[in-house]
Structure formats: structure tokens, C-alpha cells
Structure 1
Amino acid sequence: MSTTPLADLGPIAQAPCRPVAPPPRPGLYAGLWLYGVSLALMVLGAIGLAPWDVLHSGVTEHVPISLGQAVIVFSFVVLLLWIPLREKPGLGTVSNALVVGIAADATLAMFDAPASMLARIPLMVGGIVLCGFATALYIGAQPGRGPRDGLMTGLARRTGLSIRLVRTGIEITVVLIGLALGGTLGLGTVAYALTIGPIAQWMMPWFLVDLAPAPGVAPDRSLNCPAEPA
């Protein structure tokens, strides 16, 4: 199991750094797109939305925007919560704010929700597992966390609590706010809130990459880039 820590790097500090292996960009964008697909799978399953989407769906009850558009809007709202946590935005932050919502709307436009419960249950379960996989994939690339996961990792770093505990607490809080706005709660919501943290934490070491100075850049402790391995 990898012991590589999550780097606390902003966009300027990231510039001279590069991953040792594998390259982060494919992992970043594949993870973000799959994250959006996973949210859409739970919508199509219609057994309960992911906690953040309970909030997003509640907002769409009052504002004429799509689910994906609500995801994008709230991504930038959540970034305001980064300020007291001193989280540093990066390429992944801006990419997350845009790609996830686009992927969710694109997937929903391509497929219709099945009527059979036998088809809907696998969509719900698959959406949860895929979201945990996608979270580990794009966070592990270390180009900067997305707005919601930056909130998660920021709280974990500042409080010393595990990612599993922090993520679960955030999901439960978001569900309560979403319900107050008229969002939909279901079995899938509860299953997601209780399992996404453990799944993401379990898979994270598979994709977490080491960072090293880019070629021609001398190791610099102030950049938090480790020396190139021998």
C-alpha cells in the first residue's frame, strides 16, 4: 500500500513539479468524467441521489437550471469555504468545477431511466462504486482537488480526522440542507453517504502518485517537491 501523502500545493507550486508515475492528466480527466457519469447513474437509478445531488436537485426545484448546471454553480460556491481552510486551488479544482457537471448532463441526455427495479438497483450500486473509484483516480493524480473534495481533504488535514469520517459527515450535512430545499432522499442516498468515504479511502493508495521536480528544476523544499528518486 502506498504511503505517499496528499501534496498541499497550489497552482504556482505545482508548476515546477511533475508526477514520478503515472502521468496525472489522464487520471485527472478520466476521474472527473467518470465522477459525473456516476452521479448520472444514480439519477437514472431513481432510488435516491448522491448527497450533494439531493442539494442540487433541491435547488433545481426553485431555479430553472439542470442538475449539471447546479453542480457547476455550487462548485464555485463551495470554493468560498476553502478560504478559512487555506486550501490551495489547482488545475484539478477548476477542471472539477466544470467537467463533472458537463459529464452528468451529457450522460443523462443519452439514456432514459429504466422502469424495472432490477435494472435500477445495479445503476445505484454501480454509481456509488464508480464515484469512489473516480474520486480516488482524480485526487490521486494530485493536480489539485475539486471544490467538494478540497473541502473534505482540507477539513481532514486541519482536524486530523480520517477522510472516511470527514467525508461521511459532509455528506450527511448536505443531505439535511437538500431536504430542507425539497430535494429527494432515498435508499441510494443513505448507502452513498455511508459507503463513499470508505470506498474512496480504500482505493486512494492505488492511484496516489509521487511528485518530483520537473526535468531541469532543482529540488526545492519551499516548493514541497521531493528530490528525484535515484
Structure 2
Amino acid sequence: MSASLLDVNDLSRRFGGLKAVEGLSLHVGKGEIVGLLGPNGSGKTTALNLISGALQPDRGSVKLDGEETAGASNFKVARLGIARTYQLVRLFKTMSVLENVVAGMSFTHERRFGTEANADALELLERVGLAARASRRAEDLTYIDQKRLELARCLASRPRVLLLDEWLAGLNPTELLQAIELVRSLKHDGVSILMVEHVLEAVRSLCDHCVVMNAGQRIAVGPAASVLADPEVVRAYLGDDHA
């Protein structure tokens, strides 16, 4: 098992009487890809919001390489080395593709400007397949290319941990295979990944292990094949008749 890089312990957040996340614990090792699974409404995106600093926890701990980040604002968390994508893509739509990636370099302790920033941005765009569209406005890209751009902007901050929130959703079979290889290449570069995903082909192919949530709580953890066959997980996804 890899040395732990991201440690989440007893993380909890309520909205009124709703326990959106309750006592969640998970760990992501250096260079690992961990799947965060569960049916819709199980608390996965709320968990990413808490880890990334978009939401503040009611209790619990989030540590990046031993440093506590729970309660820190999202821009501080980003500078410490946690970046994320969103289910609904968030871009600077009137800026160019290249400018969007350069903007991502603001959220890091290794800021780059001018020629160096543009060269690094073009390299990242080449990696995600968008180099030929560098001068286009972000709003003119297709939805899939906007997702690729958001990933490139995340990578521009040189994250140690990357949070992917259903980044593979909406891809056709060819695009999915390409995207799986892209995510795998990030792991080989040493980026640790926590991914919320419903595409089980990708989960089985990519994830070192998985954490499954239901109704805000962790109900299973382990290798993908094991947790997906767990009766409690099957019940959470499909109901009692299938468990």
C-alpha cells in the first residue's frame, strides 16, 4: 500500500436535519486512484466540496500530507495542492482556451507568468487534446472539450491530489477509452486521484480501491470487484430484490 497522502477522518456535514455526510473516513495513497462511489444523493459531491474547501465541515479532519486543511478556504486548499473538477463544468467562458489554463497557474505556490506560463499551458492543452483550439473562446467548445479544458486548468496548478467529479460522464465509447488512458497517465506522473464516478468500466480499470457511500455514510471499502459485489452495495444501488 502506498504511503497516505490524503487522510479524511470522521468528516461530517449537515444541512438542517439532513445528514449529507456523516462520519466519512477515507485515505488516498501517493500515486493512487481511489473511487468514491454510491447512488445519486449519497453524499459524494458534498464530500468533495468538504475536502476541497468549498464547504466547511461540522466536524472531522482532512489532512494533506499530514497538514490539516479542514475549514480552510478553497483557494488556500488549492494552493496546498488539491484541485477539482465539477459535475457542471466551470470555466471562464469569454476567455480563450489558453487563458483559462494560464489562470489555473494562479492557484499554486509555483506561479508562472508570460512566456513560461503560455508554454506550460500549451503543453497541457496538447496532453488533453486541445492544443489546436488554444485561441478559441471557452464558450465555443463542445461540452466534452469544455470538460477537457477544465481538467487542463486543474493540472495547471500542479496538484498533488486531483478530485474528479464524474469527469467521464457523457463520453462516447472512443472518448471514454481515451479518457481512461489520460487519467491513468496522471497516476503514472505521481498525481493522486479521488474520483466520483458512475462509469463502472472506468472504476474497474483505474481504481486501486473504492469507497462506497449511501445516505451520507460509508458502507463499504476495498477493491472494486469486492465492493461492487457486496450485498449492501447492491442493495443501495438496486434495492432489496437484487441483494
Could you say which TM-score interval applies, normalised by the shorter chain? 0.3 to 0.5
Which has more strand, going by share of residues? 2
Which has more helix, going by share of residues? 1
TM-score using structure 1 length: 0.35
TM-score using structure 2 length: 0.34
Which structure exhibits the higher relative contact order, with contacts defined as CA atoms closer than 8 Å and separated by 6 or more residues? 1
